[in-house]
Amino acid sequence: MRTLGRYGFILLGLPNIIGFAVATILGGMLVPVVPEGKRPTLLCVAEMLSGLVSFFATILIARLVRIEPSFWIFALPGVWFFVYFVSKNRVLEFFRSASGILCGWLLCRFVATGG
């Protein structure tokens, strides 16, 4: 039962891991290009991108296991970001990642309704 719980925990966190990986790769590619003074802005954009990619990874994984995403699908990566960032007392980073999730949800709704 404990092993099943661990696998479930990893599976539920998979979208956030994918979002973190994509944001880290793209942010790492931009670090040499961005001036030293603009790096905090790059970090903010990377955190928002992490939330955005996490949202779409959640939708992709849900469709792969034949679950139709609903309005509440954004709650899964949001709860993961909340647990991770707030437990480390990094509330601003949580808000940035949550804003990326919200942007993903708005973009998804915009595309689904035809603009």
The residues, any chain, with a CB within 8 Å of residue 4's CB and separated by 6 or more, are none
Q: What is the mean pLDDT of residues 70-88?
A: 84
In this prediction the pTM is 0.83
As a whole number of angstroms, the distance between CA 81 and CA 25 comes to 19
As a whole number of angstroms, the distance between CA 81 and CA 94 comes to 6
Q: Are 75 and 15 in contact (CB under 8 A)?
A: no
As a whole number of angstroms, the distance between CA 64 and CA 58 comes to 10
Predicted pLDDT of residue 112? 74
Residue 115: pLDDT band with limits 50, 70, 90: low
Phi-psi region at 83: left, alpha or beta (left = phi > 0; alpha = psi -120 to 50): alpha
Asked if residue 9 has pLDDT above 70, the reply is no
Residue 54: pLDDT band with limits 50, 70, 90: very high
